[in-house]
Chains A and B, each alone.
Chain A
Amino acid sequence: MNVLHHIPSTAQQRRTAYRRRQTVRSVLVAATSTAALGTLLVLAVTGAPGWDRVRESFLDPAIARDALPAVLSGLWLNVRLLVCCAAGALLLGLVIALLRTLRGPVFFPVRALAAGYTYTFRGLPLIIVLYVLTLGVPGLRLQGMPPVLVLGGLALVLTYGGYLAEVFRAGIESIHPSQLAAARSLGLTYRQTMRHVVLPQAVRRVAPPLLNDVVALQKDVGLVSLAGPIDAVRAAQIATAETFNYTPYILAGVLFVLLAIPLIAVTDWVTLRSARRRSGG
């Protein structure tokens, strides 16, 4: 009857004690095996014949310290570009996906344009889009041409918008038609149905792949440096050329991973949660 004052039977007490002992044992086993493997790896790497040379040219603390300000200011560019381009690409992807769901002959040209866009930009290598926009378009010498950085960002938005549109579309199409029927039967218009019934469910369902693409975008924003602006990798490259030492690259790599960790953690968490929801937990 009373959940709060339930006294476990001796059988249950024995089971609980056993499970506790098992937990302690597995933690100990895991710690021991991790320590053993770690030691082995460190010994293998530092014991290698070329280790001293590698350490000098890849892991020089003094060079890392010198390169840090330049690499950090490059990384700041990456972060700003990532935030703007991710927001832009998500918005563009969503709009394109919605345009592709429109039915009726009036919308044929819109649908066709949206489909053509996703086909083109998913097929086109990002580097080519970047070169065309940052090198080709300024060549037109039009009045009021935006700076190269904005054009580079646009190239990223256009390319990733194509991928994200397909992810959104898959999400929208995964919503069962009975949900649309239920919404329409209540008198909701097509737009209201999309806004209040289909999209909230679709976005939740595709949040993991969406975030995954944002993580990929984080690595690709640096490509704008091909057109001039200096991002973290480009800053590291410059420092490397000055010192003939690869440590700045390692530094930039570590910073990139540190930057990505929160995003990847969020992605994993969202994936786990949606998997749990789907299994009805």
Chain B
Amino acid sequence: MDVLTCRGLRKEFGDHVVLDGLDLTVGEHQVVALIGASGSGKSTLLRCVNLLEDLDDGVIELDGEDISDPRVDPDRVRRRIGMVFQSYNLFPHLSVLENITLAPIRVHRRPRAEAEAQARELLDRMGLGEKAHAYPDRLSGGQQQRVAMARALANSPRLMLLDEVTSALDPELVGEVLSMIRDLKADGMTMVLATHEMGFAREVADQVCFLDGGRVVEAGPPEQVLGDPTHPRTRQFLKRIIEAGRL
């Protein structure tokens, strides 16, 4: 069964239509990479799926449940979805450990000791064990982003949404975050990731979707979409990327 189904999504900001009848399906254990020019609506799509934006039309289903129904409690939906942002968005007044245990303790009402044990396990797995009591402003960008991923994972989500999680990082820090995503894929996590890292999309994605004009204009296995695109807009986009030396 599919984890996520989007049908005919429409989102407008004022008279600017960002999503215009977008369809997307993500199967269990699948990794879907969203590519497209800056401003093509990748972040908006992820925010809509996480119910951070109200839809103007269309339906979103999570595990077959219509989560775009206004009667659905958005807080309950978001507990099942982990989201990681380009700018990490860690809580600066909380330590690394408190960042990770906030939702398990407050949202899932887990005992503090249990939540902390789980958080430490996550941190150890990411090689951040000794940073548990550090504050975010003492960490490098790569470390912050890994903590942000741990924070999202502590909710044991059904689906992870990653929005250009490496775009704000210095090049030598990108690798550590990408290798975490690789590990997640190996664990069978279902993921949708917006990315500029075409090489990484090719390596990790089961499916690459090219967004343009508010729709997915081309979707398929990475070799096909990135290697031999059929749609002229995809070709044009990839040509610009290659010229910029990013493929």
Contact = CB atoms under 8 A, between A and B. Distances in A.
Interface bin, chain A: 10 to 19
A185 B107 contact: no
Interface string B77-89: 0110111010101
Contact of A185 (B50, B87, B92, B106): B50
Give the interface SS of chain A, mostly helix, strand, loop or mixed: helix
B165 interface: no
A182 interface: yes
B96 to A, nearest CB: 14
Given A179-B91, A187-B76, A196 B52 contact: no
B107 A179 contact: no
B81 A185 contact: yes
Contacts of B191: none
A21 B106 CA distance: 57
A186 B89 contact: no
Contact of A188 (B47, B52, B87, B103): B103
Interface in B101-159: 102-103, 106-107, 137, 151-152, 155
B75 interface: yes
A189 B76 CA distance: 9
Nearest to B74: A184
A61 interface: no
Interface string B87-99: 1011111000000
Contacts of A183: 91
Nearest to B80: A187
Contacts of B81: 185
A204 B107 contact: no
Interface in B180-204: none
Given A182-B85, A192-B106, A187 B91 contact: no
Contact of B52 (A185, A197, A204, A280): A185
Contact of B89 (A179, A196, A204, A280): A179
| Of A182, A183, A196, most B-chain CB atoms within 10 Å | A182
A30 B107 CA distance: 58
A196 B102 contact: yes
Nearest to B83: A185
A188 B75 contact: yes
A271 interface: no
B93 A186 contact: no
A184 B74 CA distance: 9
Contacts of B85: 178, 181-182
Nearest to B91: A197
Interface of B: 47, 50, 52, 74-76, 78-79, 81-83, 85, 87, 89-93, 102-103, 106-107, 137, 151-152, 155
Interface of A: 178-179, 181-189, 192, 196-197, 200-201, 204, 280
27 contacts: A181-B52, A181-B85, A182-B89, A182-B90, A184-B52, A184-B75, A185-B50, A185-B52, A185-B81, A185-B82, A186-B79, A186-B102, A186-B151, A186-B152, A186-B155, A187-B76, A187-B103, A187-B155, A188-B75, A188-B106, A188-B107, A192-B107, A196-B102, A196-B106, A197-B91, A197-B102, A201-B93
